[in-house]
Chains A and B, each alone.
Chain A
Amino acid sequence: MGKLGKKARKFAKKNLQSVLKRKRKIKSMFKKKASKSRHFEDQRDAAENEEENAELSARRNSENGDIEDMSLEAIFSEDESDEDEGDVDVDDSGSDGYLSEDSNCMPIAESEIHLGENGAAGKPSAQNQEILLELENKKKKLSRLKAKDPGFSKFLESHDKGLKSFRNENAYSDEDERSDDGMQSMDEDGPHLYLNKLMTSSAINSWCHLVKEQHNASAFISLLNAYRAACHYGAESTGILRSGSGAPILDCETFCKILMFVLREADDVFREMLGISSNCKRDTILGLKNNSKWKTVRPLIKSYLRSTLFMLNQATDSEILAFSLNRLRTSIVFFAAFPLLIRRLIKIGVHLWATGEETVSFHSFLILQDVASGFSSDCFDLCLIKMYKAFIGHCKFAEPALFKHLQFLRNSFVELCSQDLLRSSNKAKVSINNLSRILQLGLQTKKKEAVKKICSWQYANCIDLWVTYISHCIHDYDLQPLLYIIIQIINGMATLFPGPRYLPLRRKCIEWLNHLSSSSGIFIPVTSLVLDVLEYKVSKEVGKPGKDFNFSSAVKLPKHWLKSRNFREDCVFSAIELLSAHFAQWSYHISFPELATIPLIHLRKFQEKSDVESLRRVVKRFIDVVEQNIEFVKKKRDEVAFSPNDQQSVEAFLQLEKCSGNTPFTQYYRSVMEKAASRSLIMNENKR
């Protein structure tokens, strides 16, 4: 028992009376809440029911609801509010975990703790030093004054008391506001008092050793408490314990050691203690519930998980995040026992998934994936909804830099969706219906706001997301209705924005259609949409090549761009690329010659009229290749004897050749795509 401990207590008695009062108050509150949390399961069920109801009503609302105030974000909105309630629940009932531990580890911790250096390793920052200097000056002055006039010191003391109580009130209100961003508000006083005693690296080392070699439970408990303190380090200092917060200073080494050790070893130790293998399922964890071992380990696990989650909230560095996420993932199975922690995990995971850098995002996705697949279907829904919302929130702008991340988000989301197609298709239906209603409003009213909503990155990205989803999953699940609706939506988008300024959007639409068509094997005519692109009326003055403009980062082109030569080129190249993608899909189909007839007529006309030699050459080449393919198909089909109503023979037509994929058109298509890729690459590089 060191001096400092006594000192601190004295200090606390002297200066922190109001704090103690408050502590008592809070403890009584905890008791109430703890009693509440006994009905924990009931509550959870109720919450789930509520959520279901909310979702239902949300869906109903969005169906019957007022069309006018539709927005993309509005979807699933009632779930959100429900979840917030849930989070509050977490805070309330979750705090009992630590308190029960206190009595266990208190004596051990105290016995181990010994006096440490008050002076911290490492230099304080320059700013701190400045403040320190000023402080010293003022203190000197003050002491001088006190010495001069004893009456003043009395006055000061009396004044201090009033001040303190006032400040504490402030702190109260502060914490009420902060109640949702962590659990510190509730349980910080208890543990803090004894953690004021310092832990040195030697103590930590011995603990680590004990834990590693002997699986000493008590050492592990104190280690976990230290881990908790480390995780909360920094976050707590803002609280009321300001004046006493100088006490639990760890040095850098200790801090690292605690965190690294616990993160690295905790999972193994838990498994060791419970005697389960490293690849057990959720059911085994749930099965352990009545086990006596479980009862002792449960609080430890909970403390560990909570601390880690808290740190995930606090930390900003991507390496730390990635590491802790990765470690957390190994012990994700333990979350099964703490449904409310799962919610928090999902919340944090989604946040990191959406905002984090590559690795962090990836790791949090892995966690989300595990959560979604490993736990109840509610978790899956929750993940899905949260992720979708996060995606919507993040896809408002598309800069080239963000593009890749968005792509990752989209793909990972689809990946997650594909884990449970039944549920995800329900969600998709709701979302797509929402999109379609927005479009319908736009088509019917042609109002500016409605149309603006459609011609935005957010809308386009949502469509993109579901297009990817449908084309990825259409072979595994019956998504025909969704497919039909989304095709109609895309067609509606394309017809709603016919002008040349919307070339990028139009391009995107056609790309989606081609994508859907090739993945689902159905026929989606795009010819007329492509030909529009080819025949955009541009003013004659095709002069200077305009400034480089990245196609992929805009839905709508700036006006001046329309006059540049690049625009003309872009139109033609886009048309050729899109058409060849369309044709490539059907180049082995028996009706390819007819499919190509009308586009060819228009392309020939264009070739005659166009006065730009380079463009003419490109078009000419395309025409030649298509004609070649027409001849090829014609020749083959003249040889067959079946009629159009013989669907099976038609399906089998030219399948052999298709597999070999060596016809000139296929090769041409490949080259076109390569060129397009290189073109966009050059564009991007120019941009940089």
Chain B
Amino acid sequence: MGKKQKQKIILPPELPPEILEDEIEVSDEDLQFVSENRDYAGFVSRLDTHSITKHVTRVADVKEDDLEALYEKRLRKTSVVKENEDKGLQLDPVDALPVKTLDGKLYYRTRPKPENGGDENEVGGGEKGGGGNEGIIKLTKVERRAKLKKSKREAKKEGKKLSKPEEAEQAPQVAVLAEVKEDLTAEELFESKKCKLAELGMALLADPESNIKSLKEMLQIARDDNPSISKLGFLSLLAVFKDIIPGYRIRLPTEKELEMKVSKEIKKMRFYESTLLSAYKAYLQKLIASEKQPVFHQVVVRCICNLLDAVPHFNCCEILLEVVVRNLGSQDVVVRKLCCATIKSLFTNEGKHGGVATVEAVRLIANHVKVNNCQLHPDFVEVFMSLSFDEDLQRREVPDDKSKVKNKKNNKRKSIEEPSQLQQNERKKNKKELMLKTRKEVAAEYKAASLAPDVMEKRRMQTETISAVFETYFRILKHTMMFTAVSSEANASSIGGASGAHPLLAPCLKGLGKFSHLIDLDYIGDLMNYLKRLAGGGSSNDGPSQKNSNHLTVTERLRCCIVAFRVMRNNLDALNVDLQDFFVQLYNLILEYRPGRDQGEVLAEALKIMLCDDRQHDMQKAAAFVKRLATFSLSIGSAESMAALVTLKNLLQKNIKCRNLLENDAGGGSVSGSISIYQPYAMDPNLSGALASVLWEINLLSKHYHPSISTAASSIAGMNSAHNQVYHAILSPQQAFMDLLLERESFNSKSDTQKSSSKRKRGNGTSILANTELSSNMSGSIDENEVSKKLGDHFMLLRNIKENERLRDELDRATLSLHLYDEYKKQKKTASTKTKKCKKLLNA
């Protein structure tokens, strides 16, 4: 009965006209029920008469004819709505935010509202809960890092665990503190400020909505003159903000919206949000202002990095990004590492901000590179390596790429923004399909209240990111080339700092290698040209002259070759670029390689990717490389040597005819090419005439001190041109290189200590001392007279010493005795006085 009543009251439209009211009999039981359950009835007093009248009036406004239909309609719907209405005790939000739903339908409008609201609350709560936990963890971190006073932090933690009751108690305390404040000395002031900070922070964390105003107070404290107080303030604010910033971006209401009448809670909400936002902005301003000061630099950067890491979706994230990116190349290692880590986590956790921050960051970095003319710390570009591009999005792009190539093969494009146009193209094509999809997705996303933008948006951003990244890469390449070109004219000056001249090149090449599959085909041609010239040491036009190659290290040039091959491999059939030049470069670079100075891993990688992975080689070229590698391994450390030998073996396996090198076939026989004599100093592998040579190196290598190398050499020597044996898959050059690296060397003797019975146990007669002139003439010829004379001297010396000792001893004794005499006299005196005294006493 009560329930029914309730329902009637809640839903005024359902109520029949006044007439019916008379008919309702309020029985005694009913009265009793109400009186017994005051609470149940309590809502009556809280009824929002205003809205009810509104309802009623609205109903009343409707024309008489329609009224009935309306009522009928409503009656029909009640069954549907019922359950929802059960939950939907709060009617206010339904009315308060009518605009937000797009659909016109009524139940659509009412139903999602409370649910959404609930969801939001739940999500918010969850986030808050999670945030709270996070807060605790991070707080401790912050505490450790910033070395804040423990007491304050602990108080804060406790404050978080205990809740409101304590808060109530604290309120008077704060007041008291404020009163006493003036009387305190500076130190106490410091303490009190710390406590204040802690209390405010605790209060904020416990109940952000009601205490939002204390943010301003905290800010005030953070503006303190005392740097340590300010630092504490910064860090506390950081902790608070990290905790209370909502999971969405705050949009301040427009003027129009402000004019509109809103409920109290909305007002409160708006107030809360605007306060939060303004405080946050003020905080950021303060941070950025004090970032320049060396005292605050680290703390501020830490705060900013933390904020960016925690709330990249929130307002003003651009400002944060700007600072972090600027500090990527900081002189301070700690700051730099921190910024790098932040940017990297930004790139890897795109879910937090939906990729917006990624685009922004990449764009900023690109700008920095541009402005600073590529003279930046390598970390600047290194961070790109942790970018990840959604494969799903990419997959859809790839077929488009192909179709595009088919369609517009001749169409040259210049601008880098090309891919975005492509997107639009595609959009048209798939419009219908997309429409459907979008609708579903939008619905789903709205339901989940997720902040992720739709796929299109995502794709657009990704494209932007890619283009910015490659813009940066190309800029670096171009700059490197220009630089080498310029300095080749004024060569002398820059020889000193060869590797320092291109700090960004190494990460750039690395990145190009990693993302080579994303490069637009139209640029690949240019890219290859750049790489070619860089691999040649700057300018390929003049031919690789010695002076130019000074500017890039061997490692960098090898990297260029590797990247070129990577790019080609990733876009295999699409291109027809001649890689011959890179082989020439490699052929010559092998000579210039020097262990210690250059990185052996890179060489091994180059050997692998350029020589081992290719299925087929030109015979001349293969032979030339075989010869060169063999020669190379004669003059180099064991690790590189092993890598070369592995490659060599690989080459020999694939090119059967090259095995002729293992035979001493006069004149090279039938296979010898156009050049009949081997020319070891030729620059071009194709012109070396290596087919005419014999691999005599193998003999020397089989005498190599390193057992693995000598075994490898012997096994190579055993390869036969006659049979086409199937060899086992051998390990890669890189693996071989790593295995034999000195740093990995265990220095354990190969423990096959076979008891060599044949070997003599005792060394042969040849004495190593035989040639020292000492041996024979010394043994017999000792002059005895001389010895006896020396013995005499020795004796005299000894006796003198002895005598000296004896005399000294006696002297000591004598002096001691003399001293004793004094003592004796004294004793005597006292004795005599004593006796005198005794006598006197006796006399007395």
Residues in chain B near residue A489, CB distance under 8 A: 747
Residues in chain B near residue A440, CB distance under 8 A: 745, 747
A595 x B634 contact (CB < 8 A): yes
Q: Which of B697, B750, B801 contacts A481 (CB 8 A)?
A: B750
In the assembled complex, the Cα of A437 lies from the Cα of B786 at a distance in Å of 50
In the assembled complex, the Cα of A320 lies from the Cα of B778 at a distance in Å of 14
Residues in chain A near residue B805, CB distance under 8 A: 237-238, 242
Interface size on A, residues (CB 8 A): 123
A643 x B802 contact (CB < 8 A): no
Known contacts A138-B814, A159-B820, A523-B703; A640 and B664 CB within 8 A of each other: yes
In the assembled complex, the Cα of A468 lies from the Cα of B768 at a distance in Å of 9
B-binding segment of A270-278, A338-346, A490-498, A657-665: A490-498
B-binding segment of A118-126, A348-356, A383-391, A395-403: A118-126
Q: Which of A151, A419, A650 contacts B824 (CB 8 A)?
A: A151
Q: Which of A358-386 contact B (CB under 8 A)?
A: 358-359, 362-363, 366
Q: Does B742 contact A (CB under 8 A)?
A: yes
Nearest B residue to A130 by beta-carbon distance?
B807
Q: Does B164 contact A (CB under 8 A)?
A: no
A523 x B700 contact (CB < 8 A): yes
Q: Does B6 contact A (CB under 8 A)?
A: no
In the assembled complex, the Cα of A421 lies from the Cα of B756 at a distance in Å of 12
In the assembled complex, the Cα of A523 lies from the Cα of B636 at a distance in Å of 12
Q: Which of A589-622 contact B (CB under 8 A)?
A: 589-591, 593-595, 597-599, 601-602, 605, 609
Q: Which of B701, B806, B817 contacts A246 (CB 8 A)?
A: B806
Known contacts A644-B695, A644-B698; A128 and B795 CB within 8 A of each other: no
A-binding segment of B109-117, B119-127, B759-767: B759-767
Give the residue among A145, A421, A591 with the most B Cβ atoms within 10 A.
A591
Q: Does B453 contact A (CB under 8 A)?
A: no
Residues in chain B near residue A481, CB distance under 8 A: 749-751, 753
Known contacts A322-B782, A418-B763, A522-B704; A139 and B814 CB within 8 A of each other: yes
Q: Does A156 contact B (CB under 8 A)?
A: yes
Nearest A residue to B804 by beta-carbon distance?
A128
Give the residue among B631, B707, B799 with the most A Cβ atoms within 10 A.
B799
B426 to chain A, nearest CB (A): 54
In the assembled complex, the Cα of A113 lies from the Cα of B517 at a distance in Å of 111
B791 x A532 contact (CB < 8 A): no
B221 to chain A, nearest CB (A): 45
Q: Does B717 contact A (CB under 8 A)?
A: yes
B742 x A495 contact (CB < 8 A): yes
Residues in chain A near residue B664, CB distance under 8 A: 640-644
Give the residue among A125, A439, A537, A644 with the most B Cβ atoms within 10 A.
A644
In the assembled complex, the Cα of A127 lies from the Cα of B745 at a distance in Å of 66
Q: Which of A141, A319, A522, A528 contacts B636 (CB 8 A)?
A: A528
In the assembled complex, the Cα of A321 lies from the Cα of B476 at a distance in Å of 77
Q: Does B217 contact A (CB under 8 A)?
A: no
Residues in chain A near residue B749, CB distance under 8 A: 429, 481-482, 484-485
Residues in chain B near residue A642, CB distance under 8 A: 664
B700 x A589 contact (CB < 8 A): yes
Nearest B residue to A435 by beta-carbon distance?
B747
B778 x A362 contact (CB < 8 A): yes
B824 x A155 contact (CB < 8 A): yes
B784 x A323 contact (CB < 8 A): yes
Q: Does A586 contact B (CB under 8 A)?
A: yes
B597 x A498 contact (CB < 8 A): yes
Q: Does B743 contact A (CB under 8 A)?
A: yes
Q: Which of B666, B698, B792 contacts A252 (CB 8 A)?
A: B792
A481 to chain B, nearest CB (A): 3
B595 x A594 contact (CB < 8 A): no
Q: Does B794 contact A (CB under 8 A)?
A: yes
A410 to chain B, nearest CB (A): 9
Residues in chain A near residue B173, CB distance under 8 A: none
Q: Does A312 contact B (CB under 8 A)?
A: no
Q: Does B630 contact A (CB under 8 A)?
A: yes
Q: Which of B51-88 contact A (CB under 8 A)?
A: none
Residues in chain B near residue A250, CB distance under 8 A: 795
B811 x A415 contact (CB < 8 A): no
Q: Does B470 contact A (CB under 8 A)?
A: no
B717 x A422 contact (CB < 8 A): no
B769 x A412 contact (CB < 8 A): yes
Known contacts A128-B807, A234-B798, A473-B763; A528 and B635 CB within 8 A of each other: yes
B359 to chain A, nearest CB (A): 41
Residues in chain B near residue A420, CB distance under 8 A: 761-762
B783 to chain A, nearest CB (A): 8
In the assembled complex, the Cα of A454 lies from the Cα of B115 at a distance in Å of 74
Q: Does A132 contact B (CB under 8 A)?
A: yes
Q: Does B726 contact A (CB under 8 A)?
A: no
Q: Which of B775, B784, B792, B815 contacts A255 (CB 8 A)?
A: B792
A605 to chain B, nearest CB (A): 7
Q: Which of B803-844 contact A (CB under 8 A)?
A: 803-811, 814-818, 820-821, 824, 827-828
Q: Provide the A433-462 mask, 1 if CB < 8 A to any CB of B, else 0.
A: 100110110011000000000000000000
Q: Which of A134, A234, A436, A589 contacts B799 (CB 8 A)?
A: A234
Residues in chain B near residue A491, CB distance under 8 A: 637-638, 742
Q: Which of A163, A326, A537 contacts B779 (CB 8 A)?
A: A326
B759 x A131 contact (CB < 8 A): no
B818 x A141 contact (CB < 8 A): yes
B179 to chain A, nearest CB (A): 59
Residues in chain A near residue B546, CB distance under 8 A: 605, 609
Q: Which of B681, B704, B745 contacts A488 (CB 8 A)?
A: B745
In the assembled complex, the Cα of A594 lies from the Cα of B628 at a distance in Å of 9
Residues in chain A near residue B763, CB distance under 8 A: 418-419, 421, 472-473, 476-477
B774 x A358 contact (CB < 8 A): yes
Known contacts A124-B803, A598-B632; A498 and B820 CB within 8 A of each other: no
B24 to chain A, nearest CB (A): 92
In the assembled complex, the Cα of A131 lies from the Cα of B759 at a distance in Å of 70
In the assembled complex, the Cα of A439 lies from the Cα of B742 at a distance in Å of 10
Q: Which of A125, A138, A476, A488 contacts B747 (CB 8 A)?
A: A488
Q: Which of B596, B663, B700, B704 contacts A498 (CB 8 A)?
A: B596
Known contacts A125-B800, A152-B824, A484-B707; A644 and B681 CB within 8 A of each other: no
A484 x B750 contact (CB < 8 A): yes
Give the residue among A135, A243, A359, A527 with the most B Cβ atoms within 10 A.
A135
Q: Does B602 contact A (CB under 8 A)?
A: no
A655 to chain B, nearest CB (A): 14
Known contacts A242-B806, A421-B763, A524-B705; A256 and B791 CB within 8 A of each other: yes
Residues in chain A near residue B386, CB distance under 8 A: none
Q: Which of B726-751 contact A (CB under 8 A)?
A: 742-743, 745, 747, 749-751
Q: Which of B634, B750, B754 contacts A594 (CB 8 A)?
A: B634
In the assembled complex, the Cα of A611 lies from the Cα of B304 at a distance in Å of 56
Q: Does B265 contact A (CB under 8 A)?
A: no
A471 to chain B, nearest CB (A): 10
In the assembled complex, the Cα of A595 lies from the Cα of B788 at a distance in Å of 63
20 more contacts with CB within 8 A, not counting A440-B747, A528-B637, are A234-B801, A234-B802, A256-B792, A320-B787, A411-B768, A414-B768, A415-B767, A421-B760, A436-B747, A468-B768, A481-B751, A483-B705, A484-B705, A484-B750, A488-B747, A523-B704, A524-B704, A528-B594, A594-B631, A594-B696
17 contacts between A and B (CB under 8 A): A122-B799, A128-B800, A138-B815, A151-B824, A152-B824, A242-B809, A252-B799, A255-B792, A260-B784, A323-B784, A326-B779, A366-B779, A473-B763, A477-B756, A477-B763, A488-B745, A532-B596
8 tightest Cβ-Cβ pairs between the two chains A and B: A418-B763, A481-B749, A234-B798, A527-B635, A436-B747, A138-B814, A591-B696, A478-B756
Binding site for A on B (CB under 8 A): 496, 546, 591, 594-597, 630-638, 641, 662-664, 666, 680-681, 694-707, 717-718, 742-743, 745, 747, 749-751, 753-754, 756, 759-764, 767-769, 772, 774-775, 778-779, 782-784, 786-788, 790-796, 798-811, 814-818, 820-821, 824, 827-828
